[in-house]
Structure 1
Amino acid sequence: MGCKSCGSGTNEDGTPKGCGSKGACNTSSCNQRSTYDWLSDLGIDDPYAASIVEVSFKNGASKDFYYAPSELEVFTGDNVAVETKNGYNVGRITLSGELVRLQMKKKKVREEKVTESIIRRANTRDMERLAEVRDMERSTLVKARAIARSNHSKMKITDVEFQGDGKKATIYYTCDERVDFRELVRQFSHQFRIKIEMRQIGPRQESARLGGIGSCGRELCCSTWLSDFSSVNTAAARYQNIAINQAKLSGQCGRLKCCLNYELDTYMEALEVFPKKADKLRTEAGLAILIKTDIFKGIMYYTYKENRGLLYPIPVAKVHEILAMNKAGDKPIDLQSNQLVVEEKDDVFGYEDVTGAIELPAEKRRKKRRKKKSGTNAKGRSSGSGRKPASGDSRAKTGEAKTSNTGDKPAAGGETKEGSRSSKRRRGRSNNRNKKRGENASAGPKASSGGGDKPANKPSTPKPTGEGGKGGSSSSGRKKRTPRRKKRGGDAPKGD
């Protein structure tokens, strides 16, 4: 079996994973908000061991000190049943020995005030009962919030913690003002049929009990290892040159982040070498004002008040000298002569040529297939109706080319005759335009029958070429005259 508290697995020697030599589980789920007992892992017996131990409940949500009789032989990490004012509670020992004295001194708890003691080691039934009441806490919290809202109470119920035997429940709440919850406690006791204790906590304690993930990506410090809350103010942000942005400086509790105090001592120590009043420096080139400060590099950046285009990095030692000169009534020439000179290094960083090492496969491009047109004349120009062929076929999408009922043969140019009247008209106009551009009369068939106002509906049978044939080409090679149509209004004839 693994750890009885967190359910972690076992090692090869049979001890729970993350547990010490005395069975103390150090996993994150068991060790939340608990002090690490490093003396118990050393395996050294303490001859002056104290009879007082620290016991935590609900994974470190609450802690208290109890007497541990020597005949019980309990150690750090053991689950124990402790006595309370009404019944018993089940918790886990987190500290024992010399570390308990230090913890009591830190929390200012005297040994005379420790009156309750450990009853026994927690057995299987105690752990089963504890798991049952832990499952009841979620539904109890929902009901308690509904009752508080129905009474129009301004409190915010945060958490519910049951006692190990299930005879008492502690309800934690937050509120900005004093609340009379006597009637509310009566309703809770009538609804849940157990003893109710109301306890008010602050926003930081609320975040510690609920837990969460901070902006750094780690679990909240107050819910893991931070045991006491020190006051944090905006002066800690100013000393560290952090912009005063309330949204970024506040944690999940709505207060300033506790981590603002972690590096404050280091910044305070580094700021001791900086001059106190160095916001302005007087030079012959003009008045210089301080823009920013690099604390750990010891550089102060100044610029001229009249011209704020350039920043001059000046070391702290030079700033002290300029302040001493200003105090004596002297002025340096300018800031440029006192700024920090950055030496250019000759080291040239070479970069590896990965052009030949990494070769990408050639991209396969799909060639576009050129679509064939319905037909071409002798010079390659389209002489058909302009419709696109379907899948490489020379026939139009609307239907195949049909021959006339009279059994006509194809024309001299080798073109097929189309069946629709509109296509015949368009073909005749296209041939007329080609003939105007200088094509030979023998290159194409007759466009239409001559001597009429409109082109003929049906093509006529081609007549043999000769001197007297109408519509045929002359033997002398003269161009064929283009037939003209007369307008209905009686206007002069006009070509297509």
Structure 2
Amino acid sequence: MSCNSCSTEKGGQPKGCKNNGTCGTDSCNKLTVFDWLANMSLPNGEKPFDWVEVRFKNGRKHYYKNTENLTLSIGDIVATQSQSGHDVGMVTLTGELVRVQMKRKNIPQEGEEIYKIYRKASQKDIDIWSEARDREEPMKVKARQFAIDLKLEMKISDIEFQGDASKATFYYTAEERVDFRELIKVFAREFRTRIEMKQVGFRQEASRLGGIGSCGRELCCSTWLTDFRSVSTSAARYQQLSLNPQKLAGQCGKLKCCLNYELDTYLDALKSFPSTDIKLQTEKGMAVCQKTDIFKGFLWYAYEGEWANWHKITTDQANEIIKLNKKNKKVASLEEYASELVEDTKNQFENVVGQDSLTRFDSPKPNNKRKNRRNNKNRRKPKNAKNNAK
């Protein structure tokens, strides 16, 4: 879902609209909601929903009431109410779908904390807003240096100016509580604006900054994921992943959110598996579980003292042995069950693409020189025969 400006040039390089997050079609931005109700008309007598969704820097969204009955569409730059002054953002959603989003996020339509839209942003508002955003990056460099000089255990990840440039919000991450009262004084003296400090989590920091994950795609938290659930190492154990912090951790330094995506499926598959702590009692000895294969439904057991020899059985066979053990009965050995599993070690490949055999070039080519020599000899024989006859 990209606009025509994002097409490629003749050399294959992307053009890019170079709007830096203010694309008019609103299709190049993250966390964009597709308005699937846009082409549907309201019943007769129904008024359109008077709330709109406005997005600010780094995907921050708020909902505002359109009290002035302005004709707004997706991509319009508007001036909105804030605690002090006004802010400038872009309309990302209008109509009945805004009602659905507000209901899903439990945002009330009545109360004291309801903000409204003042007007469509004028050129003066946009100029002030653009100048303030250009100041954010050099300010961030200085702010980090001030925090280092004061020896504060914190990291300033981003700065966001209000639309009228009257206030700057500093987003930071920290492991523990930080006393930044002296830091605020330094900021106010240096930057000459009102300062607000806001602590965010490490996952929220990664979602604001964005990036490319180890899978080669954009980070889930910066594109579509809005619900950050806690991820524990047990999720990796259930999926039989190696507990390597470098592979399991994301760019935020925490465990990857994608470890929870397939966890429920693994838990459902493990219901048919016996506990790996249960030992199998056989006449040959006690057998301990060494390995499980969730996809194929196999378990490997080894006798105590014979750890090098593993015996593969199915989950049904393991559950059957456990039931017999509960009745104080023992099976003869695991070899009886393992011998029933006939493995076909020959790899069979099917031609699903419809191409020719890959070994068609391996067969030796016929030697055409020998054939040509034989043909030449046969052609010469009749001439010799005529000469001999003469």
| TM-score computed with the length of structure 1 as normaliser | 0.62
What residue is the counterpart of 2:79 in the other structure?
Answer: 81
CA distance in 1 between counterparts of 2:26 and 2:364 reads 51
Q: Is the 8 A contact 2:78 2:119 kept in 1?
A: yes
CA distance in 2 between counterparts of 1:39 and 1:247 reads 41
What residue is the counterpart of 2:287 in the other structure?
Answer: 288
**CA deviation profile, 1:408-460 (whole Å, cap 9, x unmatched):** xxxxxxxxxxxxxxxxxxxxxxxxxxxxxxxxxxxxxxxxxxxxxxxxxxxxx
SS in 1 for 2:110: helix
Is residue 44 from structure 1 mapped to residue 40 from structure 2 by the alignment?
A: yes
SS in 2 for 1:204: helix
Which one scores higher on RCO, CA 8 angstroms, separation ≥ 6?
2
What residue is the counterpart of 1:207 in the other structure?
Answer: 206
TM-superposed deviation, 1:322: 0.7
CA distance in 2 between counterparts of 1:345 and 1:147 reads 66
Is residue 107 from structure 1 mapped to residue 114 from structure 2 by the alignment?
A: no
CA distance in 2 between counterparts of 1:173 and 1:131 reads 23
Within 5 Å, give how 1:190-339 maps onto structure 2. Answer: 190-276=189-275, 279-339=278-338
> Where has structure 1 moved over 4 Å in runs of 4 or more?
6-10, 46-49, 345-351
Within 5 Å, give how 1:54-69 maps onto structure 2. Answer: 54-60=53-59, 62-69=60-67
What residue is the counterpart of 1:344 in the other structure?
Answer: 344
TM-superposed deviation, 1:246: 2.5
TM-superposed deviation, 1:8: 4.5
What residue is the counterpart of 2:353 in the other structure?
Answer: none
TM-superposed deviation, 1:146: 2.2
What residue is the counterpart of 1:370 in the other structure?
Answer: none
Q: Is the 8 A contact 1:81 1:120 kept in 2?
A: yes
Q: Is the 8 A contact 1:286 1:306 kept in 2?
A: no
TM-superposed deviation, 1:59: 4.0
Deviating more after overlay: 131-140 vs 92-101: 92-101
| Unaligned stretches of 5+ residues in structure 2 | 9-16, 18-23, 350-356, 366-390
Residue type at the aligned position of 1:353: R
By percentage of residues, which structure has more helix?
2
CA distance in 1 between counterparts of 2:78 and 2:364 reads 65
What residue is the counterpart of 2:360 in the other structure?
Answer: 353
TM-superposed deviation, 1:169: 0.9
**CA deviation profile, 1:265-285 (whole Å, cap 9, x unmatched):** 111111122224663111122
| Unaligned stretches of 5+ residues in structure 1 | 11-15, 17-22, 359-496
CA distance in 2 between counterparts of 1:331 and 1:99 reads 64
CA distance in 2 between counterparts of 1:278 and 1:147 reads 55
Q: Is the 8 A contact 1:77 1:93 kept in 2?
A: yes
Residue type at the aligned position of 2:362: T
CA distance in 1 between counterparts of 2:234 and 2:273 reads 17
TM-superposed deviation, 1:346: 8.4
Within 5 Å, give how 1:118-157 maps onto structure 2. Answer: 118-157=117-156
| TM-score computed with the length of structure 2 as normaliser | 0.78
Tell me the matched-pair count: 339
Residue type at the aligned position of 1:342: V
What residue is the counterpart of 1:471 in the other structure?
Answer: none
Identify if the C-alpha distance between structure 1 residues 351 and 191 changes in structure 2 by more than 3 Å, giving closer, same or farther: closer
Q: Is the 8 A contact 1:280 1:287 kept in 2?
A: yes
What residue is the counterpart of 2:157 in the other structure?
Answer: 158
Q: Is the 8 A contact 1:133 1:162 kept in 2?
A: yes
SS in 2 for 1:303: strand
Matched-pair identity in %: 46
Give the RMSD, CA atoms, in angstroms: 3.0
Q: Is the 8 A contact 1:51 1:70 kept in 2?
A: no
CA distance in 1 between counterparts of 2:331 and 2:65 reads 73
